[in-house]
Amino acid sequence: SRLFRIAIDGPGASGKSTTAKLLATKLGFGYIDSGAMFRAITLKCQQQNIDLKDQEKVKQIAQSAKINFPSLSQVELDGKDVSELIRNSSITRNISHIASNTSVREILANQQRAMAKGDIPGANSTGFEHHGKVVKGVVMDGRDIGTVILPDAELKVFIEADVKIRAKRRFDELKNKGSLGDDTLQDVEQDLEARDLADRTRKIAPLLKAKDAIVLDTSALTIEQQVEKIQDMVYERL
């Protein structure tokens, strides 16, 4: 049976991952955090003191990295849990070198497309029942899922939110985790804008709304409301 694939793209701190995870839980779908994969490659390069601009060395790291998602909120790199480590600000600040590496994108794209076929390590998609039939599927979030990775996804959502609101959300999130360091709200906003600009303007697979993606502005929505809206879009397409 075919899988219902949901592609969720959008800028940083737009609530993509939280929404995608909750949505996957509600629908009984698998979840693939594509950003976590770029983060894991960045982490592995940093751990091995690889120059992030050294295209060839970075490619080798990407080829050797084994990335798994043992559960909805866990990321494993070469058998070790890196769920927390990959969220460090040094990863976030340096990731654009990895995200603009053609070889890395190709290697990860192959893995992402394989996972979108339901082959997600550790994630068991049970699906949900609809008119006596079981609908199974996957949710994948990132920057280029609707445009490059799954151009024929059954549903594409492009999440947007005012940058001030996104910065505040990220600031609160980091504060709650105790990983804010000395950063002010302005610092967080500047980092976010710099990363968005890099994502939107890179030559390969930039952050871009797919023509057939539905725009969801979450500036004034709660996570629950975001999930509900996308869930309605799924039902409309069954």
Residues in contact with ligand C5P by CB under 6 A are 12, 34-35, 38-39, 95-96, 99, 142-145, 195, 199
Task: Answer left, alpha or beta for residue 216, where phi above 0 means left and psi between -120 and 50 means alpha.
Answer: beta
- Between 12 and 137, CB nearer to ligand C5P: 12
Which residues share a beta bridge with 67? 77
- Between 5 and 195, CB nearer to ligand C5P: 195
Record the tokens describing residue 210, joined without a space: 């797919």
Taking the complex as a whole, how short is the minimal distance between the CB of residue 144 and ligand C5P, in angstroms? 5
Taking the complex as a whole, how short is the minimal distance between the CB of residue 174 and ligand C5P, in angstroms? 13
Q: Which amino acid is at 75?
A: V
DSSP letter at 148 equals I
Q: Is 122 helix (H, G, I), strand (E, B) or coil?
A: coil
Taking the complex as a whole, how short is the minimal distance between the CB of residue 29 and ligand C5P, in angstroms? 18
Taking the complex as a whole, how short is the minimal distance between the CB of residue 5 and ligand C5P, in angstroms? 14
What crossing angle do the helices spanning 185-201 and 163-177 adopt, rounded to 10°?
Answer: 120
Structural contact between residues 45 and 39, judged by C-beta atoms closer than 8 angstroms: no
- Between 116 and 135, CB nearer to ligand C5P: 116
- Between 28 and 193, CB nearer to ligand C5P: 193
